[in-house]
Structure 1
Amino acid sequence: MILNNPSRKEIKNVLDHAKTIAVIGLSPNPSRTSYIVSESMQRAGYRIIPVNPRADTVLGEKSYASLSDIPEKVDIVNVFRRSEFLEGIADEFIKIDCPVFWTQLNVVDENVFNRLADVGYTVIMDRCIKVEHAILK
């Protein structure tokens, strides 16, 4: 399967204009990849909003049970859940005002990619946001 991710130039534009990243599956455990990546993005100046129903706070930010519980605008939704959960996450994503759906390495669902891209969302799958940021800054 080959995903038609945006070009590096387009990804740089996304990262340059984003301020707030909601991270689905952000673990409060500092040894987890979701924490390491999100902490790096937070240090780079992005506001991180954790989406984890089992955590009260992560990285000093209030955690929300779902995307729809977040009371402010989000620029990127970054997903650290397994691929089989993407369909449900996409359903919730469509209900909020966010232009970018991003999934981490090895988190892929071609149907979700096409469904969201076909209606105008920017979709980036199977890419690490921390790595892309480091390459493009």
Structure 2
Amino acid sequence: MAVDSTDDLEAVLGYETIAVVGCSSTPGKAAHNVPKYMLEHGYDIIPVNPFADEIFGREAADTLADVAETIDVVCVFRPSEEVSDIVDAALERDDVDAIWMQSGIRDDDAAARAEADGRTVVQDRCLKVEHRRLVA
């Protein structure tokens, strides 16, 4: 389902484990600061970045397929043109309930595929902004 309502956003923010594709080890970048904020607010953050060994003291997975833990939400910090492949990787997993594309990131075709597979999809919204607005 596509998420537009406050209730739907709050439901996604109720999940605990977030795999962050494109998570950055560089402080100051949104792809670092947003997951760090979520970690500081009690979320289990799994960094996914093939160019980093570890982020936030956790081993970084190269791909979603390499994540051994259960994932509730896949948060995407990659360009829109990479979303389709990331969504396909998320759909290969039975544990992913939601896919969240950060501000400025969207792929309507990939979102439709995910929604057709029963996953919740948020596009073009900042996880940190919505958490601050609705939960914090």
Fold equivalence (TM over 0.5) = yes
CA distance in 2, matches of 1:73, 1:64: 13
Q: Map of 1:1-137 to 2, 5 A cutoff?
A: 4-16=2-14, 18-96=15-93, 97-137=95-135
RMSD, aligned CA: 0.9
Q: Which runs of 4+ in 1 moved over 3 A?
A: none
The answer for unaligned runs of 5 or more in structure 1 is none
**Structure 1 length normalisation: TM-score?**
0.93
Q: Percent identity?
A: 38
**Structure 2 length normalisation: TM-score?**
0.94
The answer for unaligned runs of 5 or more in structure 2 is none
CA distance in 2, matches of 1:5, 1:84: 21
Cα drift, residue 119 of structure 1: 2.1
Cα drift, residue 41 of structure 1: 0.3
CA distance in 2, matches of 1:40, 1:92: 25
Cα drift, residue 5 of structure 1: 2.6
Cα drift, residue 6 of structure 1: 3.4
The number of equivalent residue pairs is 133
CA distance in 2, matches of 1:46, 1:121: 20
